[in-house]
Amino acid sequence: MKKPMVIPVWLTVCCFAGASGAQQLDELAVDVAPTLEETAAALETATGLQDIRREGMLVFTTPFTVPDGFGDGPFDPNEVDPLAFGHRPTLQGNGTLLRVNGLDAQSCNECHTIVKHSTLPPTLGIGGIGGMVQNAIIMPSLIDVADSADDRVGYALGHDPDLPLEPDGVADYNGRFANPPFLFGGGGVELLAKEMTVDLQWLLEVARLSPRGTVVALVTHGVNFGAVVSRGGGEVELLAEGIGLESDETPEDVLVVRPFGRKGENFTMRDFDRGAMQFHFGIQPVEVVGAGVDEDGDGVTDEVSIDEMTVLHVFDVTNPRPFIEPLDPAAERGAQLFEKLGCVSCHRPVLETRNRYLPLAFPEVPNDPKANVYGFIDLVQVGFDPSPNGGVYVPLFADLKRHDMGPRLREDFERGEIPNTDFTTARLWGIADTAPYIHDGRATTLRKAIELHGGEARPARDAFVALPHEEQAYLIGFLEKLRTPDNPNEELLLP
């Protein structure tokens, strides 16, 4: 038996609130959401899933206010790290906004708005990409917009080596600058990451139980994350590549696939959302700071509840997936070149999951996706094609692995957990519609995005540059068949 009596209670609140203005909408998103159990039950039916998605969409689009807990609270001279979430100053002491280190928007949707940037006018919608102005400016302590002659930075990155460190056209900057990607197809990506993590943890366990000297290849879903060598007695030496954070202490910590964020820092979309709430809004999730705790000292507790984060997560992972338009002969030729040049070694056209059901867990345990699972989402129901093996195909054009992209794409971030040259492989599904390109949106065309590749991608990039112009055009023509969904989330807006 489903729980028919429970769900209509909050549904009534939803419809009433939705129809009667911002104040109630605000209260809905911040105070009323189905519980974990109600959400889990609702996910089992198509209409239930739709209702939860609508709830999540409301959290995604709610403009958070100061009474909701927007902001980091009054200035506290005892705080040690003025760049950390929860302790930031405001610009000119305006009391609300900073913009250059978060506190930069009121709603998630302020930045994730463009569904197709290839149409004129652009097609707007919920959960899309952001343009340049929507970039997030992350944790800088220096932005030398005047290109000062006294050049305060100790490093010469980005500078022409033949010029002295003085005005040289480089506005030094030591934060991250990131262009908003879309949320489309996120469920397939999250399921792949979870299955890969399960496999890598298992391979690690195999190595721990194997005789000294045994080498276990860390290959999952056809992607190679290096190897682990048994040192005997349960000890191992990890030779991992493209995975792990600097702060990871054990091999179990390292072997967690983190596909979200352009650096590949977050293991689920919910994990990303927790940070997004804190960074952009100064909204402290209960699941981070605890119930009843006013971590940022702004006089508001329980700024976003566990249940609200749950429906937001459901919305994230059920966003429709991008699709490929039928290929004409020229695009076919482009697809062949994409393979021949080696683009596919990172941009894997399709990965297949073992299962079609995405498990949702709370609390989430990074290295154990099977822990605390409260419900499942059938990814076929949200538009993924089933595979004969019981899984789904995820046509993402990526490998969920990080790669060294060379000095030209290097960031100068001083607080990173990931080398400044490394980024997770950009998923190219939908790429026809998502300009500008590259992590900070610096490439206004696909051609430029490809030309900027370096590091591990240097050979493929050089091979592209060496192609006759006509062949380059075929390859780009193929990428232009990779489209974002038509009218994503439109059904959630209907009365």
User: Which window, 4-12, 246-254, 272-280, 484-492, contacts ligand HEC (CB under 6 A)?
Assistant: 272-280
* Nearest residue to 429 (alpha-carbon basis) of 387, 395, 469, 475: 395
Amino acid at 111: C
User: Which window, 26-34, 216-224, 371-379, 420-428, contacts ligand HEC (CB under 6 A)?
Assistant: 420-428
For residue 43, the minimal CB distance to ligand HEC (Å) is: 19
Nearest residue (CB) to ligand HEC, 252 versus 451: 451
For residue 9, the minimal CB distance to ligand HEC (Å) is: 25
Count other Cβ atoms within 10 Å, centred on residue 354. 15
Nearest residue (CB) to ligand HEC, 26 versus 236: 26
Amino acid at 386: P
Among 172, 248, 433, 456, binds ligand HEC (CB under 6 A): 456
For residue 261, the minimal CB distance to ligand HEC (Å) is: 4
Among 56, 261, 285, 369, binds ligand HEC (CB under 6 A): 261
For residues 225-254, which are near ligand HEC according to CB under 6 A? none
3-state secondary structure the chain: CCCCCCHHHHHHHHHHHHHCCHHHHHHHHHHCCCCHHHHHHHCCCHHHHHHHHHHHHHHHHCCCCCCCCCCCCCCCCCCCCCCCCCCCCCHHHCCCCCEECECCCCCHHHCCCEEECCCCCCEECCCCECCHHHCEEECCCCECCCCCCCCCCCCCCCCCCCCCCCCCCCCCECCEEECCCCCCCHHHHHHHHHHHHHHHHHHHHHHHHCCCCCEEEEEECCEEEEEEEEEECCEEEEEECCCCCCCCCCHHHHCCCCCECCCCCECCHHHHHHHHHHHHHCCCEHHHHCCCCCCCCCCCCCCECHHHHHHHHHHHHCCCCCEECCCCHHHHHHHHHHHHCCHHHCCCCCEECCCCEEEEECCCCCCCCCCCEEEEEECCCCCCCECCCCCEEECCCCCCCEEECCHHHCCCCCCCCCCCCEEECCCCCCHHHCCCECCCCCECCHHHHHHCCCHHHHHHHHHHHHCCHHHHHHHHHHHCCEECCCCCCHHHHCC
For residue 44, the minimal CB distance to ligand HEC (Å) is: 24
Interaction of residue 24 with ligand HEC, rule CB under 6 A: no
User: Which window, 72-80, 320-328, 359-367, 451-459, contacts ligand HEC (CB under 6 A)?
Assistant: 451-459
Interaction of residue 178 with ligand HEC, rule CB under 6 A: yes
The residues, any chain, with a CB within 8 Å of residue 344's CB and separated by 6 or more, are 338
Interaction of residue 446 with ligand HEC, rule CB under 6 A: yes
Nearest residue (CB) to ligand HEC, 163 versus 465: 465
For residue 67, the minimal CB distance to ligand HEC (Å) is: 18
Interaction of residue 223 with ligand HEC, rule CB under 6 A: no
* Nearest residue to 411 (alpha-carbon basis) of 41, 238, 158: 158
Interaction of residue 201 with ligand HEC, rule CB under 6 A: no
Determine the Cα–Cα distance for residues 117 and 443; give it in Å rounded to an integer: 14
For residue 183, the minimal CB distance to ligand HEC (Å) is: 5
Among 52, 216, 460, 482, binds ligand HEC (CB under 6 A): 460
Interaction of residue 255 with ligand HEC, rule CB under 6 A: no
Interaction of residue 49 with ligand HEC, rule CB under 6 A: no
- The residue written with tokens 């006089």 in the block is 299
Interaction of residue 126 with ligand HEC, rule CB under 6 A: no
For residues 307-346, which are near ligand HEC according to CB under 6 A? 312, 316, 338, 341-343, 345-346
User: Which window, 31-39, 133-141, 201-209, 234-242, contacts ligand HEC (CB under 6 A)?
Assistant: 133-141
Interaction of residue 183 with ligand HEC, rule CB under 6 A: yes
Nearest residue (CB) to ligand HEC, 188 versus 251: 188
For residue 3, the minimal CB distance to ligand HEC (Å) is: 27
Q: What angle do CA 308, 313, 314 make, to 5 degrees?
A: 100
For residue 426, the minimal CB distance to ligand HEC (Å) is: 3
Nearest residue (CB) to ligand HEC, 204 versus 398: 398
436 near 444, Cβ under 8 Å? yes
Interaction of residue 272 with ligand HEC, rule CB under 6 A: yes
User: Which window, 68-76, 214-222, 233-241, 422-430, contacts ligand HEC (CB under 6 A)?
Assistant: 422-430
Count other Cβ atoms within 10 Å, centred on residue 102. 23
Nearest residue (CB) to ligand HEC, 236 versus 308: 308
For residue 282, the minimal CB distance to ligand HEC (Å) is: 11
For residues 351-410, which are near ligand HEC according to CB under 6 A? 403, 405, 409
Determine the Cα–Cα distance for residues 219 and 11; give it in Å rounded to an integer: 45
Interaction of residue 482 with ligand HEC, rule CB under 6 A: no
Nearest residue (CB) to ligand HEC, 354 versus 447: 447
Identify any residues that bridge with 254 across adjacent strands, giving them in sequence order.
none
Interaction of residue 188 with ligand HEC, rule CB under 6 A: no
- Chain contacts with ligand HEC (rule: CB under 6 A): 60, 104-105, 108, 110-112, 130, 134-136, 178-181, 183, 260-263, 269, 272-273, 276-277, 280, 312, 316, 338, 341-343, 345-347, 403, 405, 409, 423, 425-426, 428, 431, 434, 437-439, 446, 449-450, 453, 456-457, 460-461, 464
